[in-house]
Amino acid sequence: MSAIHEFEGIQALADALRQGRLSAAELAGEALRAARAHGDSKLFLHIDEDLTLAQAREADAAIAAGRAGPLTGIPIAHKDLFVTRGWRTTAASRMLADYVSPFDATVVARLHEAGAVSLGKLSCDEFAMGSANENAVGGPVRNPWDPDRIPGGSSGGSAAAVAARLVLGATGTDTGGSVRQPAALCGVSGIKPTYGTVSRYGIVAYASSLDQAGPIARSARDLVPLLDAISGFDPLDSTSLQTCDGRANAPGRVLADYRQACERLQAAGARPLEGLRIGVPREFFNEGLAAEVGAAIEAALSVFESLGARRVEISLPRTALSIPAYYVIAPAEASSNLSRYDGVRYGHRAANYGDLADMTSRSRTEGFGDEVRRRILVGTYVLSHGYYDAYYLQAQRVRRMIADDFRKAFAEDCDLIMGPVTPTVARRIGDNRQDPIADWLGDIYTLGVSLAGLPGMSIPCGFGGGSRPLPIGLQIIGNYFDEGRLLALADRYQQATDWHQRTPGQQ
């Protein structure tokens, strides 16, 4: 068992490292052994001990020189969608089975600069296409709470590694809920920031207008230094924001906003959330929501009310339309982005083929899995002549209306929005094998946030699942660039509850 288990969070471990109670190299060695011991869970796709220990020695040197920051020496790992020098970047696909990037993604580089120590690359759904982490080339990742269950996707390896206490933080990407959903199903905390606040440079592209990097950690408090380190304008990303709501989009903004919000909450006394309006969409509590999930969400809302918040029923009338809109727009962008994998420049190339067209066709057929091929075909269809206006443009109009619904709610009715992340607890691996579209319906509560580009997060709020408890997540949605306040409110909830402190096997 790694020493990570002995510490409450990132701050406690960082203090121990600075005080010399253990070294980053010793910690990294223990974490690597624990990661290899979890091989049956298929969490890691690539581990390189030499690379990890080299980073750990850098961290020890920084600590000795008095240059330690909040993440110096902290063990993390990266979703296998972020390109990395040294470690392979495969996007969990045969198409990129042996690819090693000549450069680091901006998120990877910034965490390295902050002193974090990477254990390697974590499994995900192939090219981030999936909600269960069953589509990885290495096989399905297993949920630490029940190895027969999915961890959620596409960042399932990241959430499972944090839940198993192998790392204190992990990177993920959220296109339609792929940070929030696995965080909910694995009983950890995860946040998708406002679109454009974190660089997409070096992230293997799925749907460019939706993809957004976000961290996963045990608690909201642990998310703060991770998100703060990776946020900020990046000239290498054409969609990166230079300013946000009149403020510079720079490292330090999230931490400053979080501290400011925490100070206000602390000054408010016994009822720190007095005056806060929590919007609860009636569309989130429909017949598709499992009773045990609904009960856990209601209990969480009661905690916020006990702290002074006021519950307000709101409507997001186009919630149901987020599914068809997303599953037109995202596959359309994927069809364009994945056209670069043609067997010519890089990626898998078929061994036997006739002419150039046959080589491209065979290479893609062999290199891509079923779900990726399915989404490419859908995307190519909706972009084709005669269907572009009927499907793609119409979906973009619906996307604008969904964003307007959120804007109206924040302008007129509430300060933030809360509800479930997923309709049910984690299902069993293979349950939807005969009906792959069924997983798409499970994204109903997360897709609208992504389509609108809003920040949203998931924090643990209870358990369901009967004799073998399975985590349930509460979704908190904020207005644009409101990450600091979301994290402060989530932290206040976690001070009043202990769901985020539960570990697999503890129940």
Q: What per-residue confidence (pLDDT) applies to 198?
A: 98
Residue of 101, 178, 199, 231 marked catalytic: 178
Active site includes 458? Answer: no
Helix (H) or strand (E) holding 118: strand 117-122
Q: What per-residue confidence (pLDDT) applies to 45?
A: 96
Residue of 23, 41, 42, 79 marked catalytic: 79
Paired sense of beta strands 310-314 and 456-464, if any: unpaired
Answer whether 0.95 is exceeded by the pTM. yes
Contacts of 188 (CB under 8 A, 6+ apart): 159, 162, 163, 216, 217, 218, 460, 500
Cα 74 to Cα 241, 414, 494, 501, distances in angstroms: 28, 37, 22, 19
Residue of 2, 41, 154, 199 marked catalytic: 154
Tell whether the torsion through CA atoms of 112, 136, 234 and 400 is positive or negative.
negative
Active site includes 79? Answer: yes
Q: What per-residue confidence (pLDDT) applies to 8?
A: 85
Q: What per-residue confidence (pLDDT) applies to 4?
A: 80
Domain 3-268 coded CATH 3.10.20.580: no
Q: What per-residue confidence (pLDDT) applies to 507?
A: 52
d(CA 121, CA 104): 13
Paired sense of beta strands 310-314 and 277-281, if any: parallel
DSSP 3-state of 79: strand
pLDDT along the chain (507 residues), means of 10: 79 96 96 92 94 98 96 98 98 96 98 98 97 93 96 97 97 98 98 98 98 98 98 96 86 94 87 95 94 98 97 98 97 96 92 95 96 96 92 97 98 98 96 84 96 98 90 98 97 97 82
